[in-house]
Structure formats: C-alpha cells, structure tokens
Chain A
Amino acid sequence: MTSVLLGVALSLTAIVGVTPRPASADADPFARANDARRKHDLATAVRLYEEALREDPSNGKVALALAETLMDAGQGPAAESLLVRLVASLPERPEPRRALALAYVQNGKASEALDQARQAVILDPGNLEGHFCMGSALATAGQLEQAVPELEQSVKGSPPDLRALHRLAIVYAALDDPKTSETFQKLLTLDPRNLGARLNWATYLWQIRDFERGNAQMERVLRAAPTNLELRKKYAASLVEQARYSQAAKQWEVVWNGGSRDYDIACSYAAALGASGRVDQAVRILRTAVQIDSQKLLAHHTLGRLLLVQQKAAEAAAELEICAHLQPGSAGISLELGRAYEAQEKTEKAETAYREALRLDPALSKANYALGTLLARTGRREEASRYLAIYQEAFQKEQQAALAGGSRHAEVNLGWEELRHGRPEQALERFDRHPDNAEALRGAAEALIALHRDAEAIRKLESAVALAPEDASLRYELDRQYDRVRKQ
C-alpha cells in the first residue's frame, strides 16, 4: 500500500507542481520571465528565460531558473540536459547540482539523483535545500526511512520550504507515519491553494480508510477545479472502492455529461449505477458502451449480468453468448450462461453450459454447485451428490480460511486496544498467539517496549520484517528501535 501511495503522490506532485518563489518585475527578459513564472505562465517564462540566456549565455542564474521552470512545466529531460551542461561548467557550485538532483528525481533516475545530492551537500553542508534534494533523492531510491531525517531537516526554515513540507508529508504517508495528517494540515494552512497537496492528503486519507475526511478534502479540490474531469474520475473511482455507489454514479455522471464518453467511462458509470440500484439506467449506458465498441468484453458481460438481475433471461443469454464468443474458454462465462439458460427453463442447455464450465475449470466450485442442484431438481440425485460433495469441500475450506483470517485480525486489534489501555502483558499474550503474522509481531514488539524488554522487541520486529519485507513502515519501526537501543 505504502509504495503505491508514494508512486501516486510523487507523480501528482509533478503534475500539479510547486508554487514558485516570487520575483520582482523588471523590464529585462529575466525579470519578466521571473514574473511570468510567479504567475504560473510557464510557457512565457520559458520563452523569456531562453531569450535572456541568448543575451547572456554564460549567466548561470538564468540557466538555473530556466531549468527549474522546465521542471515545473514537466519537461524533465530538457531540464536535465541543460543542468548537466551547467554542472559541467560550474562544478564547484552547489546550486546546479541541487537542481540537477531534483531533475533526476523527476526523471526517475534515483542513483544519479543521489550522487548529485551528495555532492551538493558536500559543497554546502548547511543548506536546507540540499537536505531537500537529498531527502527527495533517497525517497526516489526507495530509502524512505533515510529520507525522513533529511526532509525533516529541510523544513526547518522559517517559513518552511513548502516543496519540502509537501515531500515530507508524502514520505510520511508512504511510511504510514502518524505525523502524516498534521504535516499535510500544516502545509495546507501555509498554502491553502495547493491542490496537489490537498489531493495527496485526500488520497492518503482514503488509503487509511478515513473516507469522510478524505472525501471532504477531495470535495474542496473539486470546488477549486470543477471542470477537471481527471480529478472527478479519480474521486469516482475512490467512491466505488468505498462502496459509495450512488455518490460514485453522480461523479461519473458529471464526467459523462462533460463529454468524456469513452468505453471505459461508460463501463465504470454503468457499474456504479447498477450497484446503486439504478439498473435501468445502467443497462442504457452499457448499450451505449456496446455501440462504442462491440468487440470488447466488459460491457457485454456486465450487461448480461444486469439483465439477469432484471429477470430478462433471454436478453442476458444473448449478451453472455457474445461474451463466450469474445472470450472462448472462460469457465466463468459458461457458468453464467448456464444460469441464464436455467432462468429460461432451458434445462438441457443449462446443463451443457455447466458441464462445459467444469471441463474448462474443474476447480470452479460454483459450477459444481450449479450442476449439482440442477441434477437434483431433475431427479438425478446420485450424480448430483457427487458434484455437491466437491462443492461442499471447497466451501468448507473457504469458510475455514475466512474464519482463521477474520479471527486473527480481530484478535490482533483487541491486542492493540489492550495496549492502548495500558495492559501490555495481556496484549503480548494475545499477539503471541499469532507468531506468523507481521501485524501481531509489530504489536508484540510494542508491548515488549512498554514492558522495557527492548532486545526482545527488536527480535519481534526483525521477524515481522522477514515476514513482510515490502512493508516500509515495519522497516522504519525497526530502524527507530535500533536507534533507540543504541542511544541507551
């Protein structure tokens, strides 16, 4: 989860950009370029910086400003090329190296970014922007835990560097650090019009399932950018994941009526409509989707399912037959087709479809159920029993897995609750019942820390990291614990 957030958040930063520092207006191209940049007129700024650079090709300040503006405009490769040349001509200056490090970050070149950032820090150790570059480079390299102290250092200015604050919030979010929301809040207090930061905060809040607050932030973003259909699509997708289908359908409706009427939008809109009970409308939209592209599966498939819900079995069967043609060899489609036939009381065709589903995928347990019950209803109990026995075995396995997973999760939660209420011994006992679960091991470590058994806590965290090596927040916890023990 965390790495996904980081990826999303970093790319969003690049899309929306960071507010440039103001520049005084003047008559020369450089001053006018600074003014244009301050007004977010990046195309004009680039043109004027280029003009200024033509007038004074050796002016590193102009070249640097041009490169930064190119980065703001999303032209990372051009910025990188310019900065490489600038660094070559001014190898002892830290500013071009810092800018180049950030260009590499933008262009996803982590090791190059780290190299430049390190050299910039060597050249100017106390510079806060140097820490920002270093932190950004480390984050791009996936070294999030190491990025945190660099970024924390970079925001110590007064007022803090807003880009750095934003980057720090993003890294906190990726580490699921409790300081995430307060950092976003601080940033948005200082820079309330920073839609990128607000969007990133909303995304973070959704990911920690704080849907109410996440949606509130997203609503503010949309109020500021009401015609931005991309943002609305993102919101609609999140609402679907929140199972708020009616609200999602409203967002998709705006997107649809705003002219964004492609096949994928139609399918998403229809799915939200269908799930919120507006089946008739969903069917209408799906019929449009089929007209847009009759050779794609998704619209036919969803339409078939919805028509079955509407008890229009013959129409459903027709759509599912198209699906079977478009996606030959799909056991799932054969199963659904069988259901559509059965709903029309075409028992023989249904039986054939169910048998075909099982031929394609003998492990498809629901096809065993469908065939078994059909056979039972048509008086073939002995054969039915065979299929139903297969289904029962699969069903019981599924139930046992759900029971084990659900119980463990709820019991680990209870452990955390006991820990919160100052009962570490009880919590530890509970966490220790699940030695093969990373979250329980993390809880056990917390309980052990509360009991001043630090060495054991470290062992628990090490086991947790071994179980879930992709969990950056666990590694972060482990490093913090190492540091804590060392300090003692």
Chain B
Amino acid sequence: MRLLLASALAALLVGAAVSKPATSPAAKDAGCPVVFTDVAAQAGLKFVHERGATANHQLPETMGSGLAWLDYDNDGWMDLYVVQSGPFPASGAARLKNRLFHNNHDGTFTDVTEKAGLKDASYGMGVVAADYDNDGYVDLFVTNFGGNILYHNNGDGTFTDVTEKAGVKGSGWSTSAAFADFDGDGNLDLFVVRYVDYSIDKNYYCGDQRKGIRQYCSPKIYPPISNLMFHNNGDGTFTDVTESSGISKALGKGLGVVVADFDDDGRPDIYVANDTTMNFLFHNLGGMTFEDASLISGAALNQSGQPSGGMGTNAGDLDGDGKLDIVVANFEAEWNGYFRNVGSGVFEDVSGPSGFGPPAYSFSGFGLNLLDAANAGHLDAFIANGHVAEAPTMEGVTYAERPFLMWNDGHGKFTERGCGAPFRRELVGRGSATADYDNDGDIDIAVSNSGGPLELLRNDGRHGGWIGFLLRGHKSNRQGIGARLTLETEAGRQIREVKSGDSYLSSSDPRVHFGLGTAREIRSLTIRWPSGIVQTIKDLTPGRYDTIEEPDKKP
C-alpha cells in the first residue's frame, strides 16, 4: 500500500496543490478598490504575438515575448515597444516585426515602427529600454534567439542599429536584460540573461514518441549557459567582461532578471531567475566584479532546498521594513517565490506563510510586476500566467491561464484576487510591464501573450493619493537608474529603486511612483543617487510627477 502512496506523497513534499478556483460571475468585482480593463483595441494597440509554432516544437516557440515602456520622444508620455517572435527560425524580411507604438496623449497609440526605422529579422524574445549613452534619449536593447540588437535613439523619432559598433550582439539564446551602472562610473552597463545551450539541431523529441504526441522539451535536458556582462566604455561601445567580472563561472538557465541593491551597500546587485536550476544572486563587489552569493543568500532555492522553474522576477520592499525583497514567478506544481530580505544580503523563503506562493501551484507564472495598484502605500503584485505545453499533463492545468493580482496587506501578506474582466480571461501570458500610460496617477499594465493579443490593462477606480518622480542624473547616469528613493509620510516610509529591466523579458516605466494611501502630508523624499550623492527634498505636492535633477553634491 505504501508504494501506491508514493506519487501522491511526492506531490505533498513540494507543497500541496491549491485547487484552481473557478471564478464565480456573481462575485465578479465586488469589493475591488480598483478594476482593470483591457483597452488595447480601443487604444489602437493592434498586435498579436506570433510564436511560430510548428509540429517540431522548437523550444523558443513557447517562450516569447516581452515589451517595454519608454518615453522615446521625451514628451512626458509613455510609449510602448512590443517584441514579436515567429516564425522559428527567423526567416528574414518576410517575418513580422517588433512594433513601436507612440502615445498620442489621449489614451490612444499610433504604430510608428516604420517611421522609427526599427527593422529586425530575428526571432525576438525581450527588450529593455535605457539611455545607455546619456544623451537624453532612451535607447532600446532587444534580445533574440541569435544575435541581440542595440537601437540608438537618434533624438528625432528614429533609431539606428548600432549593435556591431557597440559590441553587444552576444550569442546563443538571450532572454531578459537589464541596464545598470555596476561600477559607478556614470555609464550604464548591460547584463544579458541567457537561457540554455540550444540550437535547432538539438531539438530532441520530447513527449510520447510511440503515440506521436510531441511536446516542448524541458530545459532540464539542455546544458546550462552563462549570462553575459558588458561594460559601458562611455564612448558608445561596450566591452564584454563576462569572464573578468566573474559572471561566467555561474552556469544557469536564466529567464528573468532584476537589478537592485539588496545589501544596501550602494552597489547594484543582480538577481537572475533560472528555470529548473538554482536562481543566482550576484553580489556586486565593485570594480565590475561580482561574487556568486546565490546559496548563502538563501534566495537561490525554495525552503526545501529545491530549485524551481523560475521565469519572471522582481524586487521591492513588500513588508515595509526598508529592505528590498525578491519575488519570482515559477512553473506549475510550484509556489511562486517570495524571499524576504532579512538584511546583510540574506533572505528567507516566506512564500508559504506570506500567502504569495500557494495560489500559483496550478499555474505557470511569467511576467511579474510590483505595483501599488490602489495607491494604498504598499506594493501589490501582478503575475501573467500561461503554460508552455499546449496540452499540460498536470491535472486541472490548462495552457491558457488567467493572470493574478496579488493584494498586499502592507505587511507582506498576500491575497490573490483579480479585479476586472482581464483577470477572468485565460491567455498564455508572458512578458508584462507597468506604466502610468495615461498619466492619471495610477499604474496600468501591458501584457504580451504568447500566440495571443497584446493587452493594455487600464487601472480605474478609487485610489489613494500619489506622487511620481522622473530622475535626471548628471554625475550619475542620465536616468538615475539604480537610485534609491525613500519617501516619508505620516503613514510611514516607502522605498523604491529606479530600474531598467525586470519582470519577464520586459522593462517598465522608469518613473518612480508612490501611492500615498490616506497620507496627506509628504514629509520628505531622500534620493541616494548611483554617484553616492544623497539628496533630500521637502515641500512636495502630491498628485503629480516631478522631475528631480541630480545635484552636484549633497545640498
């Protein structure tokens, strides 16, 4: 009899499943402080992801794609760049292109891809936006299966492919990427995540060969590969420092990345979500060198010491203790991960007790964003879900899945509750990115769905107060990426960091948004710039975005 129990008990060991709850239409959005509505079609965001699915089940077909919010023309409104994929392998000129949508300031967008000169012929995966040359215009780095592309923003609404000159093409299968000034020289360096050592001729047969049922292979059967690190030389070129930085020693199967100063030492560290192997935490030692602190950090594996199928990741202070915690969206039969920062670069897995993990057991999470959905004064989470197999074998699991909205009680305890029709719609979610695209003071969400339509989830409802900031670095990089902002109100303290690249294959609004809840008074904003300059500002007015210039020195 014990033998009969073996597999059920094995399921218990990873944590019991949580039944996929059916959403009762009657319960729809009652009690939701805000409701999200998909307005992509009315906004003119006509984009359907083509994954290029074939009977051969090439693994990249099920992994894309991502998107990025950026203000490429500096008009104060967030534009949207969306990555296209199929067919696989990329077949040249006839293929569908990535799209750039210009924000018309009235809730609609115009496709300006051709005008912007954004041409590519690759099988796209992800994108990250940042002003890598500090010229005041945000550039684009697009990751592909095969060579990546760096588009320089010419400042006149057009872009130029400068990949060769910049030396950031890379090789293999790139997924997410992040810009950050890792060595504090004022220039944004580039970290590129790579997935597995895969090529078309390594497309083995997975599934049931005898019955002719072919499925996408697990990454477990492909060798791991190192990520890439490029140092920005400050002259429009980069140097590949993957070896000298110590990054090459860690071989993983990376999909998501987030850069943040986890140990509060003033240097940005790197967290990589790996699929089926341990996640990485690269501790920044300065001088463009890193140590692999994955295991000692406690954020590499779940509490049982097991790796998860990590996809998207993000970082933020979820329990209000002033330290940046890490969250990871994981594959089916696993909980999503919440690693609480206990200080000194050490984390504890609180996925279970926080309520963040269990709802995910029957879902596969990809995009993962932290946003203050109702401007309540703390970060909630959005998770785009969708399986990789068209016919999942796990009981009760489907290919298309609804996304999650995880509500935070302000102390790091989460409840899953979708608010709005998009949370009842099942799609194959992948990349997701947040932005206040309509500048109304609440955070909206764009979602890229594999083989499905782009979604723009507009946030509507009763919100608390808010304030937002756009940073202008001078000694630091132009966008202040890596700056830490601490906002003090009578309700308490919140922290944020300026990021470029997070979630899954994506990049969000670089402006820093704070919900204020019921707080009426902002006591101060303190910014620790990447240069080390610390700036404190008082007399701030809620309900608007302020542009903050980096001072020459501490005022």
Contact = CB atoms under 8 A, between A and B. Distances in A.
Interface of A: 208-210, 237, 240-241, 243-248, 264, 267-268, 271-272, 274-279, 282, 298, 302, 305-306, 309, 311, 339, 343, 365-366, 369-370, 372-373, 376-377, 379, 381, 384-385, 388, 391-392, 395, 399, 402-403, 406-407, 409-411, 413-414, 416-417
Interface stretch (B43-51, B179-187, B205-213, B241-249): B205-213
Going nearest first, the 9 A-B pairs with the smallest beta carbon separation are A410-B204, A369-B305, A406-B221, A271-B8, A413-B205, A275-B11, A414-B205, A277-B19, A264-B1
Give the most central of B16, B224, B303: most A CB within 10 Å.
B16
B305 A413 contact: no
19 contacts: A208-B210, A245-B395, A268-B1, A275-B8, A277-B361, A279-B16, A305-B12, A366-B305, A373-B295, A388-B295, A392-B295, A403-B221, A407-B204, A407-B221, A407-B222, A410-B205, A410-B217, A413-B204, A417-B209
Contact of A243 (B13, B206, B342, B394): B394
B260 interface: no
Nearest to B218: A406
A299 to B, nearest CB: 11
B15 A309 contact: yes
Contacts of A244: 395
Contacts of A381: 296
B236 interface: no
B342 A377 contact: yes
Contacts of B346: 376-377
A216 to B, nearest CB: 15
A241 B10 CA distance: 11
Contacts of A391: 295, 305
B31 to A, nearest CB: 24
A346 to B, nearest CB: 14
Contacts of A267: 1, 5
Contacts of A298: 2, 5
Interface of B: 1-2, 4-5, 7-9, 11-13, 15-19, 203-211, 214, 217-218, 220-224, 277-278, 295-298, 301, 303-305, 307, 342, 344, 346, 348, 352-353, 361-362, 393-396
B17 A245 contact: yes
Nearest to A407: B221
A264 B4 CA distance: 10
Contacts of B361: 277
A282 B12 CA distance: 11
A138 to B, nearest CB: 27
Contact of B17 (A275, A302, A365): A275
A243 B395 contact: yes
Nearest to B297: A376
Contact of A373 (B2, B205, B298, B344): B298
B206 A274 contact: no
A9 to B, nearest CB: 18
A413 B19 CA distance: 34
A261 to B, nearest CB: 14
Contacts of A279: 16
Contacts of A370: 305
A367 to B, nearest CB: 9
Contacts of B217: 410
Contacts of A377: 298, 342, 346, 348
Given A343-B353, A373-B298, A406 B5 contact: no
Give the most central of A246, A392, A399: most B CB within 10 Å.
A399
Contact of A365 (B8, B296, B305): B305
Contact of B8 (A274, A369, A388): A274
Contacts of A407: 204, 221-222
Given A268-B5, A282-B16, A311-B353, 14 more contacts: A208-B210, A240-B4, A241-B7, A243-B11, A246-B19, A271-B5, A271-B12, A278-B19, A302-B12, A306-B16, A366-B305, A403-B221, A403-B223, A417-B209
